[in-house]
């Protein structure tokens, strides 16, 4: 998460630098992947949610929101969609849209990390 944050800060200094922007997008991809995998592990091992209840990433995010890990589940749907777009299509317009999502994602990812830390320190 720190690498994504530093990438965003660096790219602000040179907003037209495609290399910086592309680096932010790559960091967004792996940070997003780490986030959904952390949610998945939390649901399975801490909250002990049945695997059969989680059939898709949307189910995963909904359950994470229900348990208080995510504040805006719709935003997380958008982040995941943006992350997947980078795997299939990549052009200037897509890159700009994903970069914007990466900027929006960072505070929500930090909030998720704080919620996970709190939930594992004080399990219900």
* Predicted structure pTM score: 0.92
Q: Which CATH class is domain 2-121?
A: mainly alpha
**Contact by Cβ (8 Å): 112, 35:** yes
Convert the pLDDT of each residue in 41-68 to its tens digit: 999 999 999 989 999 999 999 999 999 9
Catalytic residue among 27, 62, 83, 121: 83
Q: Report d(CA 81, CA 44) in Å as an integer.
A: 23
| Segments of the chain scoring below 70 in pLDDT | 89, 123-124
88 in active site: yes
Catalytic residue among 55, 88, 121, 122: 88
The domain ranges of the chain are: 2-121
Q: Report d(CA 115, CA 120) in Å as an integer.
A: 9
């Amino acid at each position: 998460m720190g690498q994504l944050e530093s990438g965003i800060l660096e790219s602000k200094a040179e907003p037209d630098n495609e290399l910086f922007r592309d680096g932010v997008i790559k960091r967004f991809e792996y940070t997003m992947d780490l986030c959904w995998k952390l949610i998945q592990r939390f649901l399975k091992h801490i909250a002990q949610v049945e695997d059969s209840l989680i059939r898709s990433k949307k189910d995963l995010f909904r359950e994470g929101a229900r348990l208080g890990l995510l504040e805006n589940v719709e935003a997380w749907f958008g982040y995941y969609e943006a992350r997947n777009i980078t795997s299939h299509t990549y052009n200037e317009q897509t890159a700009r849209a994903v970069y914007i999502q990466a900027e929006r994602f960072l505070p929500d990812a930090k909030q998720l990390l704080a919620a996970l830390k709190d939930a594992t320190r004080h399990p219900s």
